Structure 1
Amino acid sequence: MDPSILGKKYDKLARWWHDRLHDSQHGIPQLERALNFCAQPGPALDVGCGAGGRFVRLLQEKGFQVTGIDVSAEMIRLAQENHPDANFLVRDICTWDTGQRFHLIIAWDSIFHLPLAMQEPVVKKLCRLLTAGGVLIYTFGDALGEHDDVMQGESFHYSSIGIQGNLRVLAEAGITCKHLELDQWPEKHVYIVGVRME
């Protein structure tokens, strides 16, 4: 899905999304598992951070300095209100880059909205943005393909290179898979935790 269109769709849902997930525990046990592999806190990147909330809060409590990016300007506005001491940017992960490196990167339920052709390049980029020993946690669909679905009356596009595709890309980028789980069975929702080799 075109990032500008995706951003406008999430602009419409931003308040609903915020109210539904701000204090949710959804994804928290998975992030806590990933944090167990972090040698020490440091810079963290939240890709598709939305309005902030539970992930940013946990990372800050653990001593991480958080940067969040999202294509929705309204989501970023809410995130800045919720976490004035974090750094939030309206950016598209497909085109955004930085010289900074991160101890932890999370992309929870975000990059699965990318066009199928951008899945591999973006995962490679996330791997490159890690420090040595840095931890990556992200979610994707279990099988290769793409489809559309409706949320709150808005149509959204989803794509995935599947479990084998993601494992291949991570291995080629020097990332060791530490945990992979279909965590919302029978939904085909996968999360993976990888660590960049020293």
Structure 2
Amino acid sequence: MTPEELGKKYSKISKIYRDETKDSKYGIVQIQRAISYSEKKGIALDVGCGAGGRIINELTSNNINVHGIDISTSMIELARKAHPNCTFEIADICEYKTDEKFELIVAWDSIFHIPLNRHKKVLASLAKMLKPKGILIYTFGDDKGEHTDIWHDDTFYYSSIGINENLSTLINSDLIIKHIELDQYPQNHVYIIAQKY
């Protein structure tokens, strides 16, 4: 599935997704944990920010400025309306480049959509975008592989390099593992928090 195809799929359900997650607290405890490791507030990059909402609200309520990126045009339009004091752009994380360095990078339920052979490169790229002592939090599946699932009457692609390869990639990118958890056990959903040296 190309990034463009994924973006169109999310654009098709953007308002439904926004409405479904409007009052959700999903992921907030985990984001709070990541914020607690962050020594400075500054600016955060939200990778796959979607329509905005709870995660951006949590970040901004902690005096963290947010720059969000997403592959879906409609999601970005909704995020701009919901968070006029934040900045957003349409971007593919696999190709994303910036001179900005971030205190915090969040990729909650987003990079598991990228092609399997791009995970290590994307993680290394995110690590380079962190300031010293900066924090990265993201989610992935615990088993290595790729599959598709039906969601909102459409087919979505998912992939993961698994726990061990995520850990080794982060360590090789000069990050220290601060926390890792299968937070929805017995489902295979993992979140990890790592800090740059």
TM-score higher than 0.5: yes
Equivalent residue for 2:103? 103
Number of aligned pairs?
A: 197
**Once the two structures are superposed, what CA deviation does each residue of 1:100-157 show, in whole Å capped at 9, x if it has no partner?**
0000000000000000011110011111100000000000000110000010001000
Q: 1:65: how far off?
A: 1.0
Distance 2:153 2:140 in 1: 22
Q: Which TM-score applies when normalising by structure 1? A: 0.98
Amino acid at match of 1:83: H
Q: CA RMSD in A?
A: 0.6
Distance 2:22 2:133 in 1: 29
Distance 1:60 1:23 in 2: 17
Q: 1:79: how far off?
A: 0.2
- Counterpart of 2:103 in 1: which secondary structure? strand
Amino acid at match of 1:49: C
Contact 1:141 1:162 in 2 (8 A): yes
User: Moved runs in structure 1, 4+ residues, more than 6 A?
Assistant: none
Contact 1:22 1:52 in 2 (8 A): no
Contact 1:141 1:160 in 2 (8 A): yes
Equivalent residue for 2:132? 132
Distance 1:15 1:196 in 2: 36
**Once the two structures are superposed, what CA deviation does each residue of 1:13-40 show, in whole Å capped at 9, x if it has no partner?**
1011101112210000000011110012
1:167 aligns with 2:148: no
Q: Which TM-score applies when normalising by structure 2? A: 0.99
1:177 aligns with 2:160: no
Equivalent residue for 1:51? 51
Distance 1:159 1:153 in 2: 20
Percent sequence identity over aligned pairs? 47
Summarize the alignment of residues 20-31 of structure 1 with structure 2, pairs less than 5 Å apart.
Answer: 20-31=20-31
Amino acid at match of 2:52: G
1:16 aligns with 2:16: yes
Equivalent residue for 1:188? 188
Equivalent residue for 1:66? 66
Distance 2:23 2:65 in 1: 20
